[in-house]
Amino acid sequence: MLVAQAQMGRSWRIGIEPGPTALVTRGLYRRLRSPIYSVLLSALLGVVVLAPVWWVMGAWLVCLGLVAIQARREEAHMARLHPQAFAEWATHTGRFLPGLGSLRKGG
């Protein structure tokens, strides 16, 4: 997680700010659009493995849903700021896992 934050450099933010930021496509971001969220979800999945009870699994699913919503909001913001660069990057980069969640060309 710290590596992904460091690779974002000055573009790292908590939340979505209206001002412009660079589109980071190097390092971990070459394969994942949201490596920070990937680490978070993986760590929480470890809790599910350690305590496989229904409410822990349910909490993980809720977190997955909320993180997916936030990731889509951030992607929409970046698509507005960097339409061509984001579209090209997102067509070959998975959202949370490499190769999964790539956007289709033109969409």
Q: What are 9-58's pLDDT values in tens digits?
A: 777 777 787 778 889 999 999 999 999 999 999 999 999 999 999 999 99
Distances in Å between the Cα of 18 and the Cα atoms of 6, 22, 80, 81 are: 21, 13, 11, 10
CA–CA gap between residue 54 and residue 60 (Å, rounded):
10
User: Does residue 101 sit within a domain?
Assistant: no
Residues whose CB is less than 8 angstroms from the CB of residue 43 and which lie 6 or more positions away in sequence, other chains included: none
Closest to 74 measured CA to CA, from 26, 31, 37, 28? 37
User: Does residue 38 sit within a domain?
Assistant: yes
Structure tokens at 6: 């460091």
**75-104 pLDDT, tens digit each:** 999 999 999 999 999 999 999 998 887 777
Task: Answer whether residue 105 shows pLDDT above 70.
Answer: no
Task: Answer whether residue 107 shows pLDDT above 70.
Answer: no
User: Does residue 99 sit within a domain?
Assistant: no
Residue 88 is predicted with a pLDDT of: 94
Domain membership of residue 81 as a residue range: 2-10+22-90
pTM higher than the cut 0.85: no
The count of domains in the chain is 1
Closest to 72 measured CA to CA, from 41, 23, 33? 33
User: Does residue 105 sit within a domain?
Assistant: no
